[in-house]
Structure 1
Amino acid sequence: MADVFACAGCGDVLTGPVTRVALPSRAHHRYGHEMLPALMDPGTYAADPEPSGPPWRPWSEVGPEEAEVRGVFAPVHALSFGAPGAVVVAPGDTRGTVLIPERCDGYCLGLDGRDGPNLACARCGRPVATRIDDCSLWQAVWLAPGAVRRIPAVDPTGGNPEREAPAREWESTPPVEPSGHWSPRWTAAAGAALAHLLAASAGAPVSVPEGLVAQTFGRALEALLPSVPLGPSRSVAKRAALAGPGLPASGPVPDLALVPRHPRTGEPWQPPGGAEAVPVDADVWQGMAFPREPLPVPATGGMPDGVLRDDPLPPYPHVLFQPDRGVFLHTLARLPAVRQPWLRRIYDRVRQHPYDLF
């Protein structure tokens, strides 16, 4: 079902029809020093359950007790004390807004929202949203909680967004971009999944299958979980494997199941057999579960369905894969398991030495 968002002051419509999807792991991700594409796909929106935007308070002022009440269980630089529930849309889905010139500051090449809402309703002048388009940041428009209201729209197809879509209908993000760089969608999703994977490991070593899964998580797991168990688990290494819709259910049940987050609801797919679910963004899970392999030899005659051209050559990464550290720390700080001493030590190591690990 699609919705539109309108100004809470005058009622003027501020977006086109948009459908709710899960908040991407990269929502607060910084990447490189270049212009990034839009965070959200056209015609979609997501809501951030956490507070966002100014005012900000440093960790030394907040303290661990108040932070835990707000769902943060390890030290962070600062916490937002803005309102929760900001809605994010693609910039192209906005309507009827104008920039507020005195709030259009940024770090480098665009707007970074440091001064709060920088878009106003064109009709009444009420500040309603924050446009983000600076380098290193995913382009987005964040609708301010309390400044807008959601108006449900009728879905003419009668579709049910809560249904379990077949896995092969989900979008798949290739792991490597044409430039030869690892996809920032992959590095961000891997950072979030790695935090959940460590928490689920209980400190035991974790083995992963060869291929893309090993490329994505193997080096980080070896660096952070040595062969001697760190936590309460005294068992042998736990086995992680992909599980989810469209994959065969035969074979031994893994200890840890890398499963997709539903692209609309964000809920992790529940694996059978008692395996513990480790959520992965659906588009990246899709790329791991159903990789598109390049054709090894030229094809003659017509190109069959599903066959990729061998010209140009498929992209290969220039460097080894690294899960995004910022997303990893952001996610791990919000998991209650980080209060366990062994996992807190890992969190502190990565935070204090960000370039020395994995």
Structure 2
Amino acid sequence: MCAGCGAELTTPLSQVALPVHARQTYGNGAQLPVLMESGTFAVDPDPWGGPWRMWDEIDPGEAEARGIHAPVHALSDGTPGASVIAPGDVRGTRLIPEKRGGACCGLDGADGPNMACEACDLPVATRVDDCSLWQAVRLSPDAVHRVPVDGAHAAPLSWTELAKKGEKTPPFEPVATWGGRLGPDHYWSWSPRWEAAAGHALAHLLVASRGQPVNVPDGLTAAVFQRALDALLPAGPPKRRAVLAGPGQPSPDAGADILLVPVHPQTGRMWAPAGPAATAHLVPLPLGVWLWLVSPQPCLPVPASGRIPRDVLRDDPPPLPPGRLFRADRGTFQHTLVRQPAVRSPWLRTILENLTQGTPADLF
């Protein structure tokens, strides 16, 4: 509710984990969908938006206290703890036209809160829906208060339930772009969600590698990670072995050094093994991505009759995979890596510095 007048500003919401692609900037002119599922909210623990301070203006002790262990271009001085929701779950607000920001095709939030409470005009939230950004509304933590609602917070699903009922995230999907004279356009691509998930996991994989080569399972897992690991880590033995592990899967053997495990979509906690594998280094993956990796779903042709309308994206026969190798999301990778204490190691710091100097462009 509004901290100024107490007006209700959202529908009842249940808390979930913040998606790893929440800060992703994807492509150029892409129309990304809504970040959060309707009826849910997530808390962003990091500051977001302006004002900004350049790295040379920040004391190293302050940066470390904020969980930043390596140089970045700039840090937000915004208030941490924003509640992130779907735009359709907002109630009782209006847009502030003069707070449009430097957006291209929508709102980017660069000028700060751009939504005000209808009842008292207090700026309460920032709507983001510009091209290449995930659509969301960020409720300002100093202007909006959360209040408990009966029945809005269901008990988290068990890992067994998630393994059976969890929704898989396909690795390929159509990406919409802003339409030209002929209307909306699409292209078939690696999923932006997968690219962000890979950037997040790749940072953890590098930390888990301890500077040694890493092997991941063959197939799609290798297509997503192995090329980047081989390019960023030294060649030759000894090699650390990473395997997929999680609910409903065979127990990993004691020889596995790294486990690629799912993150609970409601609590944000990683699945953890018992027994000999409990000492392995855990690398997080979003549940939908992990489910697809452990049980890929084939693209089966579906019989159809009649003609498909001209403005419908065709799916017969199934579209071919994207015409390029997989690339992890650079921004998500960097955002994650600078928050790992291990990045202070010289070899990891070199990888981070090479992101802007010498890393091959086709890796990210």
TM value normalised by structure 1: 0.89
Q: Which residue of 2 aligns with 1:127?
A: 123
Asked if residue 340 in structure 1 is aligned to residue 335 in structure 2, the reply is no
Structure 1 residue aligned with 2:287: 282
**Partners of 2:25 and 2:132 within 8 A in 1:** yes
Of 40, 43, 55, which aligns to 1:44? Answer: 40
Which residue is equivalent to 1:100? Answer: 96
Provide the C-alpha distance between the structure 1 equivalents of 2:213 and 2:252, rounded to a whole number of angstroms: 24
The Cα of 1:201 is off from its aligned counterpart by 0.8
Mapping of 1:215-234 within 5 angstroms?
A: 215-228=223-236
1:215-259 CA-to-partner distances (Å, cap 9, x unmatched) read 11011001001215xxxxxx7100001000121226554110000
Residue 70 (str. 1) matches residue 66 (str. 2): yes
Distance 2:68 2:39 in 1: 31
Structure 1 segment 1-358 matched on structure 2, within 5 A: 6-33=1-28, 34-155=30-151, 159-161=154-156, 163-164=158-159, 165-178=161-174, 179-228=187-236, 236-249=238-251, 251=253, 253-272=255-274, 273=277, 274-295=279-300, 311-353=316-358, 355-356=360-361, 358=363
Contact 2:31 2:131 in 1 (8 A): yes
- 2: CA distance between counterparts of 1:161 and 1:356? 40
Q: CA deviation at 1:314?
A: 4.4
Asked if the contact 2:245/2:252 (under 8 Å) is kept, the reply is no
Instruction: Confirm or deny: 8 A CA contact 2:171 2:194 kept in the other structure.
Output: yes
Identity %: 55
CA displacement, residues 59-82 of structure 1 (integer Å, 9 cap, x when unaligned): 011143321111101111111112
State the superposition RMSD in angstroms.
Answer: 1.9
Once residues 331 and 98 of structure 1 are traced to their aligned partners in structure 2, the CA distance between those partners, rounded to angstroms, is 34
Query: How high is the TM-score relative to the length of structure 2?
Result: 0.87
Question: Does the residue aligned with 1:149 lie in a helix, a strand or coil?
Answer: coil
Structure 2: runs of 5 or more not aligned: 175-186, 304-314
Larger CA deviation: 84-93 vs 50-59: 50-59
Could you give the per-residue CA deviations for residues 94-141 of structure 1, whole angstroms, max 9, x where no partner exists? 111101111112331011001100000011100000000111110100
Q: 2-side partners of 1:128 and 1:77: how far apart?
A: 28
Once the 2 structures are TM-superposed, how far is the Cα of residue 161 of structure 1 from its aligned partner?
1.9
- 3-state SS in 2 of match to 1:343: helix
- Residue 64 of structure 1 contacts residue 75 of structure 1 at CA under 8 Å; is this kept in 2? no
Structure 1 gaps, min length 5: 1-5, 229-234, 300-309
